[in-house]
Structure 1
Amino acid sequence: MSKIPLQLKFLLFLFVFVAFWYENGISQSLDPRDEADVILSQYQEAKSDRKKLDLISQLVRVIHYSDSAQKYYPEAIRLARLVGDAELEAQNLNRLGVYYRNMNLQEDALKLYEEALTISRNANIPVQIGHSLNNIGQIFFYQDQFEESLKYYREAETKFLEIADKEGLAYNYNGMSLVLAAIGNFEQALITINKAINIREESGNERQLTVSKFNRAGIFMSMGDYTNAEPDIINLYDYGMINDKIRAINALEKLVELKLKTTNYSQAIAYAKEAMMLHKEKPYSESMIEIYHMMYNYYFYRGNLSESKKYLDILEKEKDILNVEKTKNYLAGLTIKKQKDEIAGLYREKVLMEINNRFKMYLLLALFLFAFAMFIALSIYYRSYFREKKNLSHLQDKQKQIEQQASELDRLNMVKDKIFSILAHDLKAPLDSLWGMVKLIDEENLSQSEFEEYLPIISQNLGNNSMLLENLLIWSRSQMKGMHVQLSRLNLNKLVDENIRFLLSSGYYKGQLMENYVAADIEVEADKNMIDIVFRNLLTNALKFTREGDQIIVDTKESDNVYTVCVSDQGTGISEEGLKKLFGKDFHSTSGTHQEKGTGLGLILTKELVQKNKGEIWAESTLGMGSTFCFTLPKL
């Protein structure tokens, strides 16, 4: 099977994700809470296991797509096994698998689907056999195992046809069409999705019909048939405006893409603005990030830098920090692929050079036999010599380029190792503690008073982790050359006040006195976000190494060209050996007065951010007498 292009694969994945999320009813048009409360009350009053099983199975069907449903599934499965109801056992296993699938726990979901399939086959329950096969096929589709996925969908189709289950067939054809589209069989994909649409038109289920039509739009988009795709996307938009604004935003995302591809730019801009208005009412970042990105590209490539920057700023605020590990692996993969291509090119050139050398040898032999041939051979030789010299120079340039790429790959691997080290040693323990706490609460082994005693510790650990993650992600982005200074005029006094107020409610605060002596009129031109992080790291360090009642002062000094900002504390201080290690390339840290953990990453990042803003940073300290961290910023 030929490899699917990355763009097509991404487009299909996006449609699959949205469609299945939508189809599984993440947003219900009717609020199920009242019905769920009634069923839960009846379940709690039920006496027999049979009655409890029927009620709890009914309850999880009503609240299936909410997080609260997850805790009821194990009990439903246990009761089904207790009373010997294989159908409800398989059904609840399948539904729990859908929950895990929606949480992106695909391997866990697959195990539950396979268990449900085994139970259904042993008890000969055709409906659950079909749904289990459908679900397994869907997981294999997510994992890009398209042939395996299609095999399970075909088997499920056969089962649903045997029992004339139209609802099951509609789900089956819906999923199967996406697999067929993914392998490039668009004609068969359209035939299949139209079968699902016909069934759902007969049943009158508007929501599921809208889902299937949106899937068909995805297939048309993959084929470049935007004319037929548009009505199905608008159908989702109309439905979403009435029932679910998130779906309307998602439809607007595809309409923006469609209009840009068909060069109807004014309509694309109008759709984007409508999506932005809906986003204020019903936030949906996944689609809005794509819309902002498309609009940024549109204005950028047309030279409208002010509009492109506006959308870029919105995009940066909207999207989460990029997954550093995926980005790094992607870059490393590109580097390795490029190296392989270049090595193959060098090998081909080497073969050509060997052929050329053999050819020269034949000419040299001919020189000894024929004088005229000698003249010709010498001419060829000199021409070949200069060509070979040029090739050699080219090869050397290629070699240097490969060495540079290898060096960059080594650097990326070092960044990866440092990130893994931080994640393994400084993030895992607090999260394990939190998981243990949640497990104790879930099992009702932790009293209210014990929970309240542990709560400040958990809060502090999570606060530490939050600061560590923020520093880690920003530092990682700087290592990937993804940070750019965005200069703006900012008031230092106001920035210091904002950070002091923020840290007074953090896990680092222990009752210290934090004073802002920065003059109210001092303004500089710098990157606000970067300098904000600098202040937060320096003040956090001061809080870590001071005790209750200690004073922490932020002050400035003015010289000819710069302002010098200093953060002073009355804390534990730093030894001479410790001072030498600050701001270095290696991570180094010590525990705070409450044994707060650190990585040293904050000061490394702080140094990089100050330098990016054309400043310098240093520290002065005496062990046991407190510390002063100072940095400079250019005057306006």
Structure 2
Amino acid sequence: MSRMLSLRLILTIMVLTTCGLSQAQTPAGVDSLENVVKSSNLPDSARLDALTRLSGLYQFVDFARSVKYSEEAIALAANTDLPLHKIKAYRNAALLYTISGDYSSALRYDNLALELDMIVKDSAGIAQEYNAIGNDYYDLGEYDDAYFYFTQSHRMASAARDTLRMLIALHNVGRVFKELGQFDQALDHLQLSKKLSETQNDREGIPYGLYEIGDVLLRKHEYDSALATLREALALVRTLHVDIIEPKVLSTMATAYLQQNDYKNALAFYDSAYALHQKTTNRYGMAEANLGRGIVLTKEGNFDQALEKFEASLSVARPLNARVLEIKAFNELSALWEQKGDFKKALYYYKQYKQLEDTLFSQETQGKLLRDQIRFETESRDTQIAALSQLQVMQHGELKKQEFVRNILVVVMALSAILLVTVYRSGQRRRKINTLLLQHQDDMEKRSEELERLNQVKDKFFSIISHDLRSPINALAGLLDLIDKGAIEPAEMHKHTQELKVRFNHTRTLLNNLLDWTLLQMDKLSLQAARINLRKIVDENIQLLISVQNKQINMINNVPTDAIGYADSNTINLVIRNLMMNAIKFTNDGGKVTIDAKPQPSEWLFSVKDNGVGMKPEVLNMLFDKTAPYTTRGTANEKGTGLGLILCKEFIEKNGGRIWVESEEGQGSTFFFTLPKAD
């Protein structure tokens, strides 16, 4: 469960128990509230609040009864026009669905609550629902959407100076980085939010932070540190009665024992987690525990029992749209059938696993998440620096308070002259510390500007290659493994090799573009202008592309023989090749690509024209935007990264030219650029 869920639970119970009721109260108090609900002359607003409050009271006492009261509240809310009361009912319903593991239904009710919050213009409620919706998407494995809503919540909380919601948003952003494998960034966010929880007296935030930090350490294979942190989290969870995350902590500890080959403890902790999820009928949690049980049973050689657990987990994951859980189940089923010697089933589940994984962690998703990340880091840097400064000021203030107490004792025993000296020295020391803090803050701002520029290059580079370079290598490794085991028939070999050829051609182009783009960003690429024969460059690229493209595209070179430009030959060669490849990509089989150059007074007007699918007007403005590269698949489902056209623009401009595009949907596109003429 997420840190947001704890906040939602706290706020829900605070709202729903305004009469002073709680789970620990005597049955008489609950009975009196139930009698109020049965009253025939009760106004709808009072009845709706009473039903919602009763549902909240029974959440961890009698979950079935809690659901019953929630359903009655939702049914009544549908026939009323009481937005504030309906918001409470929708939030409570979303919380119940989250506890039971039905995250899609939780998302539906959180969206309903958000709509009403916007209608009544409740900014605090909107920030709360943004965090709740982000948590729903996180639980569904939609990490790009989760990141978006968490950062939206952080922005609203920052504007409202709501420190508690800000630290919760930082915590949740750290969880997203954890799932994406960016463990250092995850730890930075989680440790910062934990420190802020300690300074803000947010006691329940501390076990949440410890649990997530322990999970990150586990994924970094630091097992001893992970288990120590998780044990500390579990102790606090039980002390503070934060029951909602106890099964998650137990399940993560089970995973740690599993990775240390301690199967006995692993199975025991998975069983404990399953039992706690069963109390709240959390189907997702039970399915996750069954997956862990299945892995342990596989390690022990109990394949039939393991298969039963994996299939049970998968049968729950599919209707809940729990794609991360589905990916794990497909992967484990593939490995299990491979160990049992049924390579056909192993290949089937492996394909299911790869297809879903590629969908969930697609390049488009990574790119969107990268852009959101850069924007959020830029916007939140000042906030984080302010939070750290506030933390330092608070710590310094505590030290000064202690010093003041000591000085009071000294005053009682010392002469007035000693007091004056002490006050003077205290003022001097305080001014010196303030000066050092200001210098340190200026230094941090200068470093952050430089790091931001370097991070933009590094993050964009690795976010793209993390998927596109790994995919063909994994595919090749899987194919070689299957060939080695004799699981592929000779008749299928040609099909698989063709698929690999397409993937590696794409990867080769990607590598060339990325390396050139990186050199350009780091100012390591020097241009050597000289006389270049444009027709010759086009001829060479036509011969090259004919040999590697699978479409029957007619490429026509209409560039005059006397077309001599003055530019760097290597970069212009790359520009022409990228534009020709782009034209081939979006032209149907049997189409035509025409390359031409027209003389102008002081320059050549170069064009690459195709009769392909063309583009919508709104797409044209996005093609050369390097802050948000636009990419889409070609007519033969070819993939791209959006870097090619960005490279073209930067190279043309560095060679003293201009580049633009004209296109009409369904009629093809024409890319133009200019180059200086040779003297």
Output the TM-score relative to the length of structure 1.
0.42
Output the TM-score relative to the length of structure 2.
0.39
Higher relative contact order (CA 8 A, sep 6+): 2
